[in-house]
Amino acid sequence: MGTDALTLPRPRPLAVPLAAFALALLIALALGITFGATSLSWRALAAGDETARQILLLIRLPRVLLAAIVGATLAVAGVTFQTLLRNPLADPFILGVSGGAAAGAAIATATRLSLIPGAVPIVSFLGACAAIGAVLVLARRRDYTDPTRLLLSGLVLNAFFSAIILISFSLSRQSDLTAALRWMMGSLFGTTWLEVGAMAVLLIVAMVVLAAIANDVRMFVFGEDDARSRGVDVERVKLIGFITASIVTGAAVAVSGIIGFVGLLVPHIVRLIVRRDIRALLPLCALGGATLLVFADVLSRTLTPSSELPIGAFTALLGVPFFISLLRKSR
């Protein structure tokens, strides 16, 4: 009397949305490489013009790729936090990562360490790691990482770091609002291939780790108790998930500042398009986040002649209307 498994509604093949998102990313990348503050003459490039080569290969291309990688990172971290914390409002910065990274950058600027090339991203990353460590320690209670305490600790730590940042900037001799604004709004200016390579490696490692625990992470949807009864080592999965997602987010902030909305919005946008669990959401969010940030980056550097607008503004400007239209269509 059982229903035939062959007629049972299995989820549609993942290949379809995967291909669609990949296509969107390719289009975004193509636009990103083609458009910029200067109009690139492809003929000049082919003819070996040094300037064209510099602009394309050393300035525009690494920047577009970093936009894709950072976008993917933030979206993947966002969906991980939202699932583990069972909270649709979680974003990758929620555990104090953004505060720690920005405070690191602020301190580096105030102490003039920023004059050493490469110092700011490193100190910023250390700040992010310190924040992650502090939040996890605060939230542990008898071998149990309490999600509510985690969220509260993250909030409190972010506020604390904001205070440090403000003080650092008013004490710093230069009052480097430029650097401050860069961090607050995100910037991909001056991306180097080294940054692209480092972030690519971190992203790949993070995705492999998250994919490895994905089968367990998806059980969090039913609650931690239920997950435990399904044989999931809830505490271990939480630690691995939080630490992985936070570290890779900290690296993204160290390299590109605080770019908002991607980590929060992209998971929701993807979920409205494809109703699947996190095993499918991880690669789809990676592609979706990459696409959004590449588009935002193109807009930020082509709308004003010879100048740039903050990229964080465009992630919201692009993402929010899209999200709203999806939301209205879905119900």
Q: CA 152 → CA 32, 83, 147, 179, distances in Å?
A: 39, 17, 9, 28
Dist. CA 214–CA 83, nearest whole Å: 10
Contact region for other proteins (CB under 8 A) — 5-13, 64-72, 128-136, 153-161?
5-13
Polymer length of the chain: 331
Binds other proteins by CB under 8 A, chosen from 12, 275, 317, 320: 275
The tally of CA atoms less than 13 A away on the side-chain side of residue 142 is 0
The answer to whether residue 189 forms part of the interface with other proteins (CB under 8 A) is yes
The nearer residue to other proteins, 117 or 328, going by C-beta atoms, is 117
Per-position x/- string for 146-175, each x denoting binding to other proteins as judged by CB under 8 A, each - no binding:
------------------------x---xx
Considering the rule CB under 8 A, would residue 86 count as an interface residue with other proteins? yes
Sign of CA dihedral 214, 209, 196, 177: positive
CB of 245 to other proteins, least distance (A): 17
Nearer to other proteins, 133 or 308 (CB): 308
Residue 65: CB minimum distance to other proteins, A: 15
Please tell me whether residue 1 binds other proteins under the rule CB under 8 A: yes
Positions 31 through 60 that interact with other proteins (CB under 8 A): 36-38, 50-51, 54-55, 58-60
Tell me the closest approach of the beta carbon of residue 32 to other proteins, in angstroms: 12
Of these, 30, 159, 221, 327, which contacts other proteins (CB under 8 A)?
221
16 sits near other proteins (criterion: CB under 8 A): no
Scanning the structure block, which residue is given the tokens 């649709």? 88
Burial 246-280 (b: 16+ CB within 10 A, else e): bbbbbbbbbbbbbbbbbbbbbbbbbbbbbebbbeb
In terms of Cα–Cα distance, which of 150, 148, 149, 279 is closest to 221?
279
Given a contact cutoff of 8 angstroms between Cβ atoms, the answer to whether 307 and 322 are in contact is no
How many CA atoms lie less than 13 Å away from 311 in the CB half-sphere? Answer: 27
Binding site for other proteins (CB under 8 A): 1-5, 8-11, 36-38, 50-51, 54-55, 58-60, 86-88, 115-117, 170, 174-178, 181-182, 187, 189-190, 211-212, 215, 218-223, 225-226, 228-233, 271, 275, 277, 279, 301, 304-308
